[in-house]
Amino acid sequence: MLESEEKYRTFFESSIDAVLLTSPDGTIYAANPEACRIFGMTEKEIIKVGRDGIVDTSDPRLQFVLEERARTGKFKGELNYRRKDGTIFPGEMSSALFHDKNGTVKIAVIIRDITERKKAEETLKSKLEELQRSNDELEQFAYVSSHDLQEPLRMISSYLQLLQRRYQGNLDEKADKYIYFAVDGASRMQVLISDLLEFSRVTTRAREPEPTDSELILNQVLSSLYLYIKQNRATVTCDPLPEVTVDNTQLAQVFQNLIANGIKFHGEEAPKIHISAKKISVENKVSEWLFSVQDNGIGIDPKYSEKIFEVFKRLHKKEEYQGTGIGLAICKKIIERHGGHIWVESELGKGATFYFTLPINPKEV
Ligand code: ADP
């Protein structure tokens, strides 16, 4: 008995948290050195002022804490406390009722001053809000600029084409060349701008995810790619695919981009694409669907496996393979918007497998 009292004393005196011994009516019997430090009072003063002298009595959570503790015998949560100089600070409190050796009900209360943690949380929250705001502004900027640039560019492009049709061969050879470059540049810019617009529409035109049969979506994509598949003598196969909670138009965009790339970047052999999906469990226990789109094409040097997901990043000249380099950036934005990840595993000349995950229950994430 004596030994356990000794142990209790040591814990009480040296605890890095404030420890109080109180009664259910708010009387305080003892306070340890850390309690004296955080409240700025001596033990005697703490005992004198009692619970109402150290708790912020205007904290609306107080009544609930007292009632819950009386009902269940314990309580863990946050509450505001008051220092001797009247300043209020947030505390994390854990308390439990027990019977002392005379059978009297007492309460052991442990309090930790969480001012610093709260400050850090607040800073993080406001930084996140700031980031979100600047992200929204950027999105808006990309949308508005790409949308509004389309009109004047259409005009430039059509007048240049008119110039080309009317005056080709009537001026000198140099003039023909200049007009050709101007027309070519304008039409490339049109493609880039419309791709940028499509990229920003991933968020501006987003719809609420809803349960969707991914196999059905894949089949719709395959029928829209029918000619392209046939012209390239490609074979596309798939395993049974699950129901997922997605914006179905966007899932179709992902399938379309990955399959079309698998065909476009083919090697010597006729392109073969295989799509499959399996359930995986990740550390934090939320299960995900892992989709894969595998091809037998030219492959990607692993050192570019992250770069290729950036806007307008391409590994080939447009004369070798057509495209603007926006497809994978769109896929990444779509998948991340759904709470998933996308990546590629590949080696040059050995085909590529694109993986993406989709949470099984997006609300949990
Ligand atoms: P685009 O197809 O218009 O070039 P993407 O964003 O879809 O743009 O792809 C970016 C780059 O990643 C491509 O230019 C290509 O170099 C590489 N890439 C994408 N998919 C594949 C693939 N299946 N096999 C080999 N390289 C690929």
> In this structure, what CATH number is given to the domain that contains residue 50?
3.30.450.20
Distance CA 302, CA 296 (A): 16
Residue 234 within any structural domain of the chain: yes
pLDDT value of position 9:
81
Is the CB of 257 inside a 6 Å radius of any atom of ligand 1? yes
Residue 219 within any structural domain of the chain: yes
Give the residue, by CA position, lying nearest to ligand 1 atom 11. 314
Name the domain count of the chain: 2
**CA 303 – ligand 1 centroid, Å:** 14
Is the CB of 328 inside a 6 Å radius of any atom of ligand 1? yes
pLDDT value of position 320:
83
Residue 161 within any structural domain of the chain: no
Give the residue, by CA position, lying nearest to ligand 1 atom 14. 314
- Interstrand relation of 210-213 and 272-281 (parallel, antiparallel or unpaired): unpaired
pLDDT value of position 1:
45
**Same domain for 214 and 108:** no
- Interstrand relation of 287-295 and 342-346 (parallel, antiparallel or unpaired): unpaired
pLDDT value of position 7:
76
* 99-150 residue pLDDT tens: 988 899 999 999 999 999 999 999 999 999 998 888 888 888 888 888 888 8
Distance CA 65, CA 255 (A): 53
Distance CA 19, CA 30 (A): 8
Is the CB of 314 inside a 6 Å radius of any atom of ligand 1? yes
Give the residue, by CA position, lying nearest to ligand 1 atom 16. 315
What is the full DSSP assignment across 181-247?
Answer: HHHHHHHHHHHHHHHHHHHHHHHHT----EEEEHHHHHHHHHHHTHHHHHHTT-EEEE----EEEE-
pLDDT value of position 48:
96
> In this structure, what CATH number is given to the domain that contains residue 250?
3.30.565.10
Residue 121 within any structural domain of the chain: no
pLDDT value of position 365:
46
Is the CB of 359 inside a 6 Å radius of any atom of ligand 1? no
Q: Which domain holds residue 255?
A: 209-364
Neighbours of 113 (CB within 10 A): 19
Residue 269 within any structural domain of the chain: yes
**CA 241 – ligand 1 centroid, Å:** 24
Pocket test for ligand 1, best of 232, 259, 261, 309 (most atoms within 8 A of CB): 261
301 and 345 Cβ atoms separated by less than 8 Å? no
Is the CB of 271 inside a 6 Å radius of any atom of ligand 1? no
Q: Which of 114, 133, 148 marks a domain boundary?
A: 114
Cα dihedral sign, 32-34-38-42: positive
Residue 333 within any structural domain of the chain: yes
Give Cα 324 distance to the centre of its chain.
26
Q: Which of 44, 79, 114 marks a domain boundary?
A: 114
Q: Which of 61, 82, 114 marks a domain boundary?
A: 114
Is the CB of 352 inside a 6 Å radius of any atom of ligand 1? yes
Residue 347 within any structural domain of the chain: yes
Distance CA 163, CA 179 (A): 8
Pocket test for ligand 1, best of 195, 265, 334, 356 (most atoms within 8 A of CB): 265
**Same domain for 213 and 109:** no
Distance CA 290, CA 342 (A): 10
- State the Rg of the chain over Cα: 33
pLDDT below 70 — which residues of the chain?
Answer: 1-4, 283-286, 362-365
Distance CA 249, CA 68 (A): 49
**CA 11 – ligand 1 centroid, Å:** 63
Give the residue, by CA position, lying nearest to ligand 1 atom 9. 325
Residue 274 within any structural domain of the chain: yes
Distance CA 268, CA 95 (A): 72
**CA 203 – ligand 1 centroid, Å:** 22
